[in-house]
Homo-oligomer: A and B are copies of this chain.
Amino acid sequence: MNATTTENQIAKVITSAELLEHWQGHRRLTRRVIDAFPEKELFEYSIGGMRPFAAMVQELLAIGVPGLREITGGKTEALNEHLDVKSKAELLELWDTASEDINTYWTQIPEQQFHDRIVTFGQYEGTVISSILYFIDNEIHHRGEGYVYLRSLGVEPPPFWAR
C-alpha cells in the first residue's frame, strides 16, 4: 500500500458501505416501530389530522427502493404511496423485501457516482448523496412522529439507539 492509497482510505468522511449500514440500522429500528403498533391502530390511529403510521410507512416504501432504482437505472419512477396494504404482517414483509432490495441496488452505485446530479420522481433535483440522505432523514422524521403515536397509545417505543 503506498502513501496515496492510505490517504484515499483515511480521508473519507464516510464510505459507501458505512452509509448503507447506517441506513439499514435505521430500517431495523423502523421495523421495530412498525411492529410495536397494535394492528388496528397502525392503520387507523392518528393525531392532529395526520396520517396513520401505516400510511407514512407506505410513503417510505414508495421512496426507498424506487428511488434507488431511479439512481441506478436512470428511468423516472412514479411516487406510488398507496400500496393498499391491509395488515401489519404484510407491511413488515414489504419492509423486509425492500431492505434486501436496497442492499442489491446499493452495489450498483459506484462511489464516483455519489455527486452526480439527478432528478428523482420527475421533480426533486439534487445529487445522488443529497437524495439518499433525504430518503434516510425522511424515514427518521416520520418514525419520530410514530414515536408520539405510540406514547399516546400507552405503548413504549423501542429505544432510539437500538439499530
Q: Which residues of A contact B (CB under 8 A)?
A: 4, 7-8, 10-16, 18-19, 22, 26, 47-50, 111-112, 114-115, 129-130, 133-134, 137-138, 140-145, 147-154, 160-161
Contact = CB atoms under 8 A, between A and B. Distances in A.
A66 to B, nearest CB: 18
Contacts of A15: 13
Contacts of A115: 10, 12
Given A148-B148, A151-B47, A160 B140 contact: no
A143 B133 CA distance: 16
Nearest to A144: B144
Given A13-B129, A129-B18, A140-B141, A151 B49 contact: yes
21 contacts: A10-B115, A12-B114, A13-B13, A13-B14, A13-B114, A18-B129, A47-B47, A48-B150, A48-B152, A138-B160, A140-B140, A140-B144, A141-B143, A141-B144, A141-B147, A143-B144, A144-B144, A144-B145, A145-B145, A145-B147, A145-B148
